[in-house]
Amino acid sequence: MIHLRTMLLVGTGLVLGSCGGGGGGGTTTPPTTTPPTTNPPAIAYTVGVYPASSTFASQCAVPRTGVNPDTGRAYTDVAGSLLAEKHFLRSWTNELYLWFNEVSDRDPSSVADVKGYFDLLKTTALTPTGRAKDQFHFTYDTAAYYQLSQSGTSLGYGISWDLVQGTPPRRIVAQFVQAGTQAATLGIGRGAELVSIDGVDVVNNNTQAGVDTINAALFSPASGSSHQLGIRDRAGTTRTLTLNATAVSFSAVPLASVIPTAGGNLGYLLFNDHTVAAEQQLITAVNQLKAGNIQDLVLDLRYNGGGYLAIASELAYMIAGSARTNGRVFERTQFNSKHPTTNPVTGNALDPLPFASTTVFASTTSSLPTLDLGRVYVLTSDDTCSASESIINALRGIGVSVYQIGGTTCGKPYGFYPQDNCGTTYFSIQFRGVNALGFGDYADGFSATRAAADAQANLPGCAASEDYAHDLGDTLEERLRVAIAYRQSGNTLCTGTGLLLQADGPAIAGGLALQAPEEPWRHNRIMGR
């Protein structure tokens, strides 16, 4: 399944620094500046010879003007060319890509499109199970990426959709609806199915015009545009509703609650995004759970594709507490063989990342609250990825008992420093992370059902399916229900088969697929500069 949100991300600037605030904001119109000209040297291609990437940086076919909201200074773009942009990517990849020696050296002039050339700058190797080793190579508009990384703001309807089947007969289901949005006000809830958009049959239409209409309204609506969505709710009632595409801020921590059980109070925490905004939301939620005197925690990461690693470190600390984490390693970072002891991006020594005991992104540093737990139940899916997986791996590395309920995670022990050049931010794997025990080999994901031979990536727990018949946080929702029952059995008994929503039928041969955009905050482990 592919998990997606209806959004076209909007905003300005670059990625926030790793250890503090930054970025623009406000409504002041930046001054217009004229990009300086440059006389770059003639660009020649020689197989196996890689000039420094700085030789070609910011030499843009279309230079930006004005002020970079991340730095508060004018953009460094100068007049250049598409060829210079491609040569930058070639050299930058050779310098920093984790598997640089597995990338074929291609003449930049042989590929007309910059993004098309970047798409080739990755390994083609496979994992032991036959998956592509690098599934996380992509680009995003720099301005849009900055906005998402800071606040999770997006343009859409406030609905996170699950594309259960993208070709006819399609099935698109609301997995989460942000409170306070128009969608929530209209009564659209979890489990609602999308059956039509602007008169087009979403389930069965197999024309290019129909697919184009669905893609435009679902994935890239114009700001303020109105669209007619046919929605069938869990009770089977179908309504046609008019929704306007607006800027929506998705909550990183939509739900925290205390569940009384025979085995003592159980905390439930739904955590969806490792954004800057998540820091304060997690602090508030942990304080709430602490006041509830919980004995164990269910951490719902099923929709959390990752983000800032610093946020993951903070949450892991808040779960485990100071006694378990003091002097311990959250994660060790390993770059390619060219950089065995130094971070090539920051220039700093490769010191291990500790468990963060104080705030990282707040303007004023303060101590983090703790739950001091030695046991946690993690709800997972194939969308549980990267920084979310690092929480699992780090807690296991210091002896916290982690039980997995749900599906196999995405398998991304890798990360990157997003790199802007000429208005496009490039995401290319630069490092892997290992826990305090030196383990980081879970490229095929963490699983509660994996064979014993893969013991380090095999967590105790239960497979459990997605359940759209119940709301998240409802004790009858399948993954939460299974977690509660498993805990009650002394972590020995798995119950139920789940309520996995299936497509209405086999995909039609030659059926046209919807083209969901890459979400930059999904499936990422991000270090800021």
Q: Pick the residue with more confidence: 168 or 526?
A: 168
pLDDT category, 509, cuts 50, 70, 90? Answer: confident
The per-residue pLDDT for 519 is 56
| pLDDT over 50 (residue 137) | yes
pLDDT computed for residue 130 by the predictor: 87
Whether the bond into 169 is cis, omega within 30 of 0: yes
Q: For position 28, what pLDDT does the model report?
A: 35
Is residue 435 scored above 60 in pLDDT?
Answer: yes
* pLDDT of amino acid 152: 54
Q: What are phi and psi of 80, to 5 degrees?
A: -145, -130
pLDDT band (50, 70, 90) for residue 521: very low
Q: Using 50, 70 and 90 to split pLDDT, how confident is the model at 506? A: confident
Residue 181 lies in a domain: no
Q: What is the mean pLDDT of residues 173-188?
A: 95
> Within 10 A of 36 (CB to CB), how many other CB atoms are there?
11
Categorize the per-residue pLDDT at 39 as very low, low, confident or very high, splitting at 50, 70 and 90: low
Could you tell me the two tokens for 303?
A: 């929709």
- Segment 266-270 shows an average pLDDT of 98
455 pLDDT tier (thresholds 50, 70, 90): low
> Which H or E run contains 298?
strand 296-300
pLDDT confidence bin for 121, thresholds 50/70/90: very high
Cβ–Cβ < 8 Å for 281, 252: yes
Top pLDDT among 505 and 472 is at 472
In this prediction, residues 340-362 reach a mean pLDDT of: 95
Cα 198 to Cα 214, 225, 347: the distances in Å are: 8, 12, 53
Same domain, 265 and 407: yes
Same domain, 117 and 260: no
The pLDDT assigned to 442 comes to 92
Tracing tokens 């930054």 back to the chain, one arrives at 22
Note down the domain range covering 114.
Answer: 17-125
Whether residue 145 is predicted with pLDDT greater than 90 in this model: the reply is: no
**Is 288 domain-assigned?**
yes
Contact predicate 159/20, CB 8 Å: no
Q: What is the mean pLDDT of the chain?
A: 87
In this prediction, residues 304-324 reach a mean pLDDT of: 95
- Mean pLDDT in residue range 72-99: 97
Whether residues 317 and 456 fall in one domain: yes
Residue 129 confidence class, pLDDT cut points 50, 70, 90: confident
CA dist 51 and 419 (Å) reads 18
Per-residue pLDDT at 417: 87
Q: How far apart are CA 529 and CA 507, in angstroms?
A: 44
How confident is the model over 389-415, as pLDDT tens digits? Answer: 999 999 999 999 999 999 999 999 998
Q: What is the pLDDT of residue 431?
A: 92
Do 475 and 327 share a domain, yes or no?
yes
**In the chain, what is the straight-line distance between the N-terminal and C-terminal CA atoms, in Å?**
33
Q: Is the pLDDT of residue 279 over 50?
A: yes
Who has greater pLDDT, 76 or 512?
76
Residue 343 lies in a domain: yes
In 346-477, at which residue ranges do the beta strands (DSSP E only) sit?
Answer: 353-354, 375-380, 401-406, 414-415, 419-421, 424-427, 431-434, 461-462
Distance CA 476, CA 467 (A): 9
- d(C-alpha 378, C-alpha 391), whole Å: 10
Q: Kindly write down the DSSP assignment for every residue of 140-178, as one continuous string.
A: EEHHHHHHHHHH-EEEEEEEEEEEEESSSS-EEEEEEE-
- Name the band, by pLDDT with cuts 50, 70 and 90, for residue 64: very high
Mean pLDDT of 226-252: 95
pLDDT of residue 222: 86
Residue 55 confidence (pLDDT) above 60: yes
**pLDDT recorded at residue 135:** 86
496, pLDDT greater than 60: yes
CATH of the domain at 285: 3.90.226.10
pLDDT of amino acid 235:
95
pLDDT at res. 151:
54
Domain boundary among 125, 154, 185: 125
Among 125, 154, 169, the domain-final residue is 125
**Do residue 116 and residue 264 come from a single domain?**
no
Q: Would residue 267 count as lying in a domain?
A: yes
Cα–Cα nearest to 53, from 102, 108, 101 = 108
Is residue 12, in this structure, part of any structural domain at all?
no
- How many domains does the chain contain in total? 2
Name the amino acid, one letter, at 421: N
Note whether residue 319 is domain-resident: yes
**Do 136 and 414 contact (CB within 8 A), yes or no?**
yes
6-27 mean pLDDT:
29
With respect to residue 370, please indicate whether it lies within any of the assigned structural domains: yes
**AA identity, residue 510:** G
> Strand, helix or coil at 277?
coil
Q: Following CA atoms 513, 443, 524, 159 in sequence, which dihedral angle do they give, to the nearest 10 degrees? A: 40
* Band (497; pLDDT cuts 50, 70, 90): low
DSSP H helical ranges for 222-327: 278-291, 309-320, 322-325
Prediction pTM value:
0.81
- Block residue for tokens 């997986």: 389
- DSSP helix, strand, coil percent of the chain (3-state; round to 5): 20, 25, 55
Residue 529, in any domain of the structure: no
